[in-house]
Amino acid sequence: MRVVDVIIVDDQAPFRSVARALIRLLPGWRVVGEAATGEDALDLVTGGRPTMILMDINLPGINGIEATRRILAESPDVKVVLVSTYAADDLPPDAGACGALAYIRKDDLTPALLRALPV
């Protein structure tokens, strides 16, 4: 079984806790890091090679969209999934061009949806 190493990036500790609990429900998936800023996410990716990053869009410092661009420029094999409370129609215009694999509303995040992503 392939192991999916996940980094959770969100400035809200309660969401990181929920995402961590969801990932624990998936056999073969594990959380290998957490960050509250885009800059911290960049540091985590530099120090290791996650399979996937759950990336909030609104972060202090560089936002999740810019962090995604920078991460994928250095590590194009990492799968980044943007997560936020935005409705899909309200996403910032540059969200679609940052290279993220997908966008998932935080309210829609489930183990089944994560498992359906191509990783």
What are the chain's domains? 4-116 (3.40.50.2300)
Q: Is the dihedral of CA 81, 77, 68, 30 positive or negative?
A: positive
Indicate whether 1 pLDDT > 80: no
- pTM reported for the whole predicted model: 0.93
What is d(CA 54, CA 114) in angstroms, rounded to the nearest whole number?
10
pLDDT tens, residue by residue, 71-119: 999 999 999 999 998 777 777 888 888 999 999 999 999 999 999 998 8
Q: Cβ of 70: how many Cβ atoms within 10 Å? A: 16
Q: Cβ of 19: how many Cβ atoms within 10 Å? A: 22
pLDDT tens, residue by residue, 3-50: 999 999 999 999 999 999 999 999 999 999 999 999 999 999 987 789
For 6, 26, 109, the CA distances from 113, given in Å and listed in that order, are 15, 11, 7
The pLDDT of residue 54 is 97
